[in-house]
Amino acid sequence: MKKIYFNSDEEFQNFIKNGKDLGEKKTFLVHDKVIKIFNIRGLLSSGFIHSYSNRIISNSAKLNQNGIHSLNITHQLEFIHNKRLSGVIYNHIPGIPIRDMSIKEFTKSFLKELALFLSSIHSKGIYFRAMHMGNIIYHNGNFCLIDVAKVHFYPWSLMSFTRARAYRRFIKYPKDLKKLGKNNLELLIKMYMEESKFNLLNKLIFKCTLKILMNHNYKLIKRYTLFFAILFLIIWLI
């Protein structure tokens, strides 16, 4: 992987001078290239050990190897003056994120294609943690995953519980839900379950987890689960 080094913020600002901001001043479009920057927040982060740029490079390569369209990364950016920053450059992908498609395009056949795609990545053991409508690009009947710094590759097909968790971001943003519509979401889930060949138990686990995730705060659920696990362990030990 070719590297580009920056010794100051000024150097980097100069580098992206004519770029179009694609979101929150961390993703820029310069001609047909996308420049994406990661910034580690907080004192402790695994990002100091395994940088986000390294993660997105290895994840996109693994996705492409698995036959899933993803980023074609050409350069890694190193920020000598700031170890919190890392970045990559990749080719711009033609098409638009599902989030930006028009409502009219959410036809039954499109939802079927999407259900098939999501089911196929999950069957391959791919858990895309940022799976939401802004991170899936649609073009000419193909789906492509972007923003892939957080992906887990399991050697087995995802279990129903993990599959439901993978939908967490998909159902998180009210704006996305409003645009997709309740009926379309229900249809997508129904077709996804059919495509994934769920049995009754799979369906039950998947639907219940999804319902909990839709109606409750995920972080709070995680905290409570951890709390009760520790409590249970303490009671068991004494």
Ligand X SMILES: Nc1ncnc2c1ncn2[C@@H]1O[C@H](COP(=O)(O)OP(=O)(O)O)[C@@H](O)[C@H]1O
- By the criterion CB under 6 A, which residues form the site for ligand X? 22-24, 26-27, 34, 36, 71, 90, 92-93, 97, 134-135, 137, 146-147
Estimate to the nearest angstrom the gap between the alpha carbon of 225 and the chain centroid. Answer: 24
Strands in 2-6's sheet, in edge-to-edge order, are: 2-6, 73-79, 85-91, 33-39, 27-30, 20-23
Which partner in ligand X, Mg ion, none is near 61 (CB below 5 to 8 A by kind)?
A: none
User: Dmax over Cα atoms in the chain, in whole Å?
Assistant: 64
CA nearest to 145, candidates 91, 70, 52: 70
Which partner in ligand X, Mg ion, none is near 66 (CB below 5 to 8 A by kind)?
A: none
User: What three-state secondary structure class fits 38?
Assistant: strand
135 binds Mg ion (CB under 5 A): yes
Closer to ligand X at the Cβ: 90 or 143? 90
Which partner in ligand X, Mg ion, none is near 210 (CB below 5 to 8 A by kind)?
A: none
157: β partners: none
Closer to ligand X at the Cβ: 91 or 107? 91
Which partner in Mg ion, ligand X, none is near 114 (CB below 5 to 8 A by kind)?
A: none
Handedness of CA 105, 30, 32, 133 (dihedral sign): negative
When binding is defined by CB under 5 A, the residue of 38, 68, 69, 147 that contacts Mg ion is 147
145 binds Mg ion (CB under 5 A): no
Closer to ligand X at the Cβ: 147 or 164? 147
Q: How far is the CB of 135 from Mg ion (least distance, A)?
A: 4
At position 3, the amino acid (one-letter code) is K
Q: How far is the CB of 115 from Mg ion (least distance, A)?
A: 21
Closer to Mg ion at the Cβ: 173 or 202? 173
Closest CB to Mg ion: residue number = 147
Q: At 122, which helix (H) or strand (E)?
A: helix 108-123
Which tokens is 117 given?
A: 């795609």
Spatial distance between the Cα atoms of 124 and 145, rounded to a whole number of angstroms = 15
Q: Binders of Mg ion: how many residues, by CB under 5 A?
A: 3
Closer to ligand X at the Cβ: 73 or 126? 73
Closer to ligand X at the Cβ: 132 or 193? 132
119 binds Mg ion (CB under 5 A): no
The residues, any chain, with a CB within 8 Å of residue 140's CB and separated by 6 or more, are 94, 95
153: β partners: 126
User: Would you tell me how many other CB atoms lie within 10 Å of the CB of residue 39?
Assistant: 14
Residues that bind Mg ion (CB under 5 A): 134-135, 147
